[in-house]
Amino acid sequence: MSESAPLVYFVFGIPNSGRREVIFDLIEDGIPKNEQVLYFRPKSEPVNNFDEQLEALENVSVVTWELKDCKINHGKISAAPQKVIFLAPGTSDPADCAEALKQWSEHNQCRIARIVTVLHCQFLREQPSARPWFDACIHFSDMVLLNRREEAGNKWVKDFEAEYKKARSPARFIFVKKGRVSNPAEVLDPEARRLSLYFDELIPIEDDEFEDEHQPDDLKPDRYIERLESGQRAKPIPAIRKFLGD
């Protein structure tokens, strides 16, 4: 794919985790004012103050979108952006989002730069049963931005990050302070750091070079994307909605 192709960023996170604040910070302090940004706002979520601030930025165009049948549906696009930022619906299935994002990016000849999870630390400490949903988000992510940490406590945050380091997760874990990261350019750097190989352009390998049980990771279906003959996911992700309450 051309190096001049628009760069796509995708942001996971539950409602009220500070996703829009972070996106505003990344655009305002991490993207040159002469670069056009297309911001995809989820149709299913109400507009808040940071959506209005994002729309007020001179180099930002806004389009609403929705996830339907693992596809991205959106209105007409008139902008010609250098950067595209999707905010995932806060209650969406991460695997459905990933499948839709890959299809959309390939169809529109865009390059997936970074996938980001904004982690609501306090929520996850209070709702540990929701962990599989966050694990799936982080599986696809290059960057994990640790937000709402105060009530979770330093020990919980350190232990959470240590688990991923022990599991050799390549993703970077970074603190968010007052809606901002210390180095927006680091978050926007398009170098892939994600565990999943689903979005990567891989060199084909002859299938018969390996026995089935010794297939390398780049020949195996992504564990969250893989489907059974029934069409159901081989590793379904628990819905986050049931943990969010009203």
Residue ranges of the domains in the chain?
7-200+212-244
| C-beta separation of 90 from 13 below 8 A | yes
Both tokens assigned to 29: 């302090």
**Whole-number Å distance between alpha carbons of 40 and 84:** 8
Phi, psi of 193 (to 5 degrees): -130, 10
**Whole-number Å distance between alpha carbons of 225 and 137:** 12
**Whole-number Å distance between alpha carbons of 172 and 208:** 35
pLDDT computed for residue 166 by the predictor: 96
pLDDT computed for residue 214 by the predictor: 53
Both tokens assigned to 81: 């952006």
| C-beta separation of 108 from 86 below 8 A | no
**Whole-number Å distance between alpha carbons of 225 and 93:** 11
DSSP labels for 37-96? EEEEEETTS---HHHHHHHHSTTEEEEEEEEETTEEEE-------SEEEEEPPTTS-HHH
**Whole-number Å distance between alpha carbons of 208 and 180:** 49
| C-beta separation of 151 from 16 below 8 A | no
CATH number of this structure's domain 7-200+212-244: 3.40.50.300
- pLDDT in single tens digits along all 246 residues of the chain: 566 899 999 999 999 999 999 999 999 999 999 999 999 999 999 998 999 999 999 999 999 999 999 999 998 888 889 999 999 999 999 999 999 999 999 999 999 999 999 999 999 999 999 999 999 999 999 999 999 999 999 999 999 999 999 999 999 999 999 999 999 999 999 999 999 999 987 555 555 555 555 555 556 889 999 999 999 999 999 999 999 976
| C-beta separation of 67 from 90 below 8 A | no
**Whole-number Å distance between alpha carbons of 160 and 163:** 5
**Whole-number Å distance between alpha carbons of 17 and 2:** 34
Question: Residue 228: CB partners within 8 Å, gap ≥ 6?
Answer: 234
| C-beta separation of 97 from 126 below 8 A | no
